[in-house]
Amino acid sequence: MAIQIGEAVKGGVIGGIACAVVSGLMNYFVIPFPKTLLDNGINHAMSGLFSGLVTGFVGLIVFMTKQSKSRKL
C-alpha cells in the first residue's frame, strides 16, 4: 500500500509540474491579455481545464507504466 501511495504522489508531482508548464505557456502564448475581469476569469478557466486534463493524463500514464513494470517483476 505504501508503495502505491508513493507512486501516486510521484505521478501527481510530475503531473503538477506539467500542469504548471502547460498553463504558463497557454497564458503567455495562446490566450490573449484580457480586457475585462470576465474575460480574465474565462481565460483562467480554460487554462485550468486544459492543464487539469494534461495532469490527469500524465499521472495516469506514470501510474500505468509503474504498474506494468511491477507486474513483470
Whole-prediction pTM: 0.59
16 in a structural domain: yes
40 in a structural domain: yes
Around Cβ 51, how many Cβ atoms within 10 Å?
22
CB neighbour list of residue 8: distance below 8 Å, 6 or more residues apart: 59, 63
pLDDT tens for 3-36 read 677 777 777 787 778 777 877 787 788 777 788 8
Q: Supply the range of the domain harboring residue 40.
A: 10-67
19 or 2: whose pLDDT is higher? 19
The answer to whether 11 and 58 have CB atoms below 8 angstroms apart is: yes
Domains held by the chain: number: 1
pLDDT tens for 16-25 read 787 778 777 8
56 in a structural domain: yes
1 in a structural domain: no
